Amino acid sequence: MKLKKSTHLAWNILIHSKLRSWLTIIGIVIGIASVVSIVSISLGAQQQVQNQLGNIGANVLTVTPGFSKAFGSSGFVGGGGGFRVITRNGGPGEGSSSSSTTQKNLTINDINTIKGVSNVEYVMGEISNRETVSYLTKSATLDITGVDTSTWSEVTTETLSSGRFLSSGDSNAVVIGQNVATSTFSNIPLNSKITVDGKTFTVVGILSNGNGIYVPIDQARNMFDVGGTDYQSISVKISNVKEANATVTAITQRLMLERGEIQASQQDFSILNPSELQSTIEQTTGMLALFLGAIAAISLIVGAIGIANTMFTSVLEKTREIGIMKAIGAKNKDILMIFLINAGMIGFVGGIGGVVLGAIGSGFIGSLASGAATGGGGFGRLFGSTALTPALLIGALLFSIIIGMIAGAIPAYRASKLKPVDALRYE
C-alpha cells in the first residue's frame, strides 16, 4: 500500500475518532505548550544575558573599589537594557558597594599600573553622579558619567545613532543616550543645547540606546565636586578575550602590589570579567531551564501515555476493520503503518496546538515578567523576553510527532499481528 493511502486511512481514523482521541490530543497540547514556553523563556533569558553583557563588552574589564568574591561590591541596574557596574558608594536607589575591607578610591596611579600589564590595550577612568538635566522647559534627574575624551571612543561598547563620540579637546560637549533624546525629553536633535547642573552643553552625539549622559571628565569633576585624580571605576580594554582570566590575575597582583596590599584579605578592589560573568549566568539560567524543562517533560510523558492508551483502545475498536483489510489483501506492514501514522498524527495535531499555545503562553509570561521588571525586578527583566525561534517551533513539532509514534508503536504492532480470521470474528 502506498504511503499516501496509508496516510489517508490514518487521517480517516483520526477525524472519525471519538472525544477520547481529542482529549488525548489536549494532553499533548499541554505538554508541548509547557515545553515550548519554558524553552523559549529560557532561550530569551540567555539571549538577554548575552545582549546585556554584550553592552559591557566581553573585552572590557571593569575595576571598582571594594572587594567581593562574587558580585557583592557590584550591583546590576538596567541602564538602557544593559548590566551596569555601580561604582558609587550607595548611590540612591541603585544598589551600593559593600565590602568587608577598608575601601580606597581608584586613582591615576592605578590606571598607570594597569597600563603596564600585558594584553591591556586601553585604560580609562570614570566618575559618575546624578544631576539635574534640562532641555527647553523640561527637567529630569539623570546619570551623568565623566569619561576620558581621549580614550572613551576606544573603550566604550556603545554605538552611535548620530553624531560622534567625545574626543580630545571637547569642552561643554555631551553625548546622550537614545532614551534621553527620545523618551525622557520629547526630541533632542543633534547640536542642540542642554543644561546639566546649570551649565550649558552641546549635544555632539546620540547613542543607539541607553539612558546615559557622557561629559568630559574634567567638567564632571567640577560638576560633582570631585577633585584630584580619583576615579569611581576603571574600564580596561584587553586585546585577547581568551586571556581575560590571566589578565585579571595579572592586574590584581600588580594593583595589590602598587596599593601596598600584601595579603589576599587586604584586597580592596574588584575586577568584573564579563566573560566569566556571562558563563556563570548562563550556567544558572541553563540549570533553571533544565529544571523547568524536566517538569514540563513530565506532562509530556503523561500525554504520551495518553496516546498509547488511546491507540490501544482504537486498535480494539478497529479490530474488525483490521480483519476486513487483511481479508482483502492488506499486509501486516500496511496495518502497522496506518496505526503508526495515526499515532504520529495525534502527536502532530497536538504539537501544532502545543506550539501555538506555547507561543501565546510564553508571550503572556514574558509580558508579565516585563511588567514585574518595570517595578525594578531583575528576575522580570531577565525573563521578560522570550525567544520563539523557527528551530524551536519545528523541533517541538517533530518531537511531538516522534513522541506520538513511539507511544503508538506497540499498539500499532499488536494491530499488525492480529490474525485476519480472529479479527473478523471480533464483535
Summarize as ranges the residues that interact with other proteins (CB under 8 A).
Answer: 1-2, 4-5, 12-13, 16, 320-321, 323-334, 419-421, 424
Task: Classify the phi-psi angles of 191: left when phi > 0, otherwise alpha if psi is within -120 to 50, otherwise beta.
Answer: left
Closest CA to 378 of 75, 3, 43, 62: 75
Closest CA to 143 of 77, 190, 98: 77
Question: Under a CB-based contact definition with an 8 Å cutoff, are residues 372 and 379 in contact?
Answer: yes
User: In sequence order, what are the beta bridge partners of 140?
Assistant: 133
For residues 130 and 197, give the distance between their C-alpha atoms in angstroms, rounded to a whole number.
10
List Cα–Cα distances, 242 to 9, 118, 123, 235, 419, in angstroms.
Answer: 59, 13, 18, 18, 67
For residues 387 and 76, give the distance between their C-alpha atoms in angstroms, rounded to a whole number.
23
How many alpha carbons fall within 13 Å on the CB side of residue 408?
Answer: 31
Q: Which is nearer to other proteins, 363 or 420 (CB)?
A: 420
User: Which DSSP category does 268 fall into?
Assistant: -
Q: Which is nearer to other proteins, 115 or 331 (CB)?
A: 331
Q: Which is nearer to other proteins, 197 or 317 (CB)?
A: 317
Residue 12 beta carbon to other proteins: minimum distance, rounded to whole angstroms: 5
Q: Which is nearer to other proteins, 330 or 359 (CB)?
A: 330
Question: Under a CB-based contact definition with an 8 Å cutoff, are residues 217 and 149 in contact?
Answer: yes
Residue 33 beta carbon to other proteins: minimum distance, rounded to whole angstroms: 30
Q: Which is nearer to other proteins, 155 or 337 (CB)?
A: 337
Residue 4 beta carbon to other proteins: minimum distance, rounded to whole angstroms: 8
For residues 224 and 146, give the distance between their C-alpha atoms in angstroms, rounded to a whole number.
10
Question: Under a CB-based contact definition with an 8 Å cutoff, are residues 189 and 204 in contact?
Answer: no
Q: Which is nearer to other proteins, 197 or 334 (CB)?
A: 334
Residue 405 beta carbon to other proteins: minimum distance, rounded to whole angstroms: 22
Q: Which is nearer to other proteins, 169 or 329 (CB)?
A: 329
Residue 284 beta carbon to other proteins: minimum distance, rounded to whole angstroms: 53
Residue where the block lists cell 499555545: 357
Residue 327 beta carbon to other proteins: minimum distance, rounded to whole angstroms: 5
Residue 11 beta carbon to other proteins: minimum distance, rounded to whole angstroms: 10
Q: Which is nearer to other proteins, 11 or 76 (CB)?
A: 11
Residues in the chain: 427
